[in-house]
């Protein structure tokens, strides 16, 4: 099974607790005004990766970077829910100690019951709800007050989620990636 991907990040400390690998999926029909990742909206951009390739990438970067978990963002992960679920299932089977998180613009009420329940069984946390620029939040991982940070296991408590911050990563080719929550006055890590 394949996933359309926008980008990978080998290690981030602003996309959930601890050092986390991050996968941004490509494609989002919600197109929230003011979205931080508008380049992820077009479902025809990005690149295809087999779930097996993503798992190999994760195994490599988790050893190199002492990764605690994987965060899936986007784009809209639920637009590729079957592939995301396969990735989560196989990741948890291969690496049971790894934690997983997901960002989605959908609320729990909007998600298909059976599929979402199956996905919850492989998630430690999720941030759900559309971004609303008029309802800014400074709570950890939640950028607008209508969004909700859900905990699905006992691996984390709300105290484990740190204040919003942004990171800048520059690779050997000069490619710069900015991730996190760039709120005016929030710290930028590099």
- Count of the separate structural domains present in the chain: 1
The dihedral of CA 83, 128, 98, 14: what is its sign? positive
Q: Please tell me the predicted confidence (pLDDT) of residue 34.
A: 85
Bridge partners of 70, per DSSP, are 21, 100
Task: Judge whether 176 and 154 are in contact, CB under 8 Å.
Answer: no
Q: Please tell me the predicted confidence (pLDDT) of residue 182.
A: 65
Rg (alpha carbons) of the chain, rounded to whole number? 15
Return the structure tokens found at 84: 């995301």
Q: Please tell me the predicted confidence (pLDDT) of residue 100.
A: 99
Torsion of CA 162, 12, 31, 150, to 10 degrees: -40
Q: Please tell me the predicted confidence (pLDDT) of residue 183.
A: 60
Q: Please tell me the predicted confidence (pLDDT) of residue 179.
A: 80
* Distance of alpha carbon 183 from the chain centroid: 18
Q: One digit per residue, pLDDT tens: the chain, 190 residues? A: 999 999 999 999 999 999 999 999 999 999 999 888 899 999 999 999 999 999 999 999 999 999 999 999 999 999 999 999 999 999 999 999 999 999 999 999 999 889 999 999 999 999 999 999 898 888 888 888 999 999 999 999 999 998 878 888 787 787 777 787 766 544 445 5
Look-up of token digits 């970077």: 65
Residues 6 or more apart whose Cβ sits within 8 Å of residue 178: 166, 167, 168, 169
- The enclosing H or E element of 177 equals strand 176-180
State how far the alpha carbon of 164 is from the alpha carbons of 86, 93, 139, 140, in Å.
30, 31, 7, 5
Domain carrying residue 172: 2-189
């Amino acid at each position: 099974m394949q996933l359309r991907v926008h980008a990978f990040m080998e290690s981030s400390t602003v996309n959930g607790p601890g050092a986390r690998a991050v996968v941004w999926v490509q494609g989002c029909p919600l197109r929230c005004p003011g979205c931080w990742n508008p380049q992820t909206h077009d479902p025809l951009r990005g690149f295809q990766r087999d779930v097996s390739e993503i798992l190999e990438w994760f195994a490599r970067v988790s050893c190199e970077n002492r990764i605690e978990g994987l965060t899936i963002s986007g784009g809209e992960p639920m637009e590729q829910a079957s592939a995301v679920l396969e990735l989560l299932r196989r990741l948890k089977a291969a690496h049971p100690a790894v934690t997983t998180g997901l960002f989605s613009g959908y609320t729990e009420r909007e998600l298909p019951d059976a599929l979402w329940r199956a996905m919850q069984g492989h998630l430690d946390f999720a941030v759900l709800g559309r971004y609303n620029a008029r309802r800014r939040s400074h709570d950890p991982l939640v950028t607008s007050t209508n969004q909700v940070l859900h905990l699905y296991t006992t691996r984390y408590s709300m105290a484990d989620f740190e204040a919003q911050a942004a990171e800048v990563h520059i690779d050997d080719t000069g490619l710069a990636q900015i991730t996190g929550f760039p709120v005016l006055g929030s710290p930028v890590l590099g």
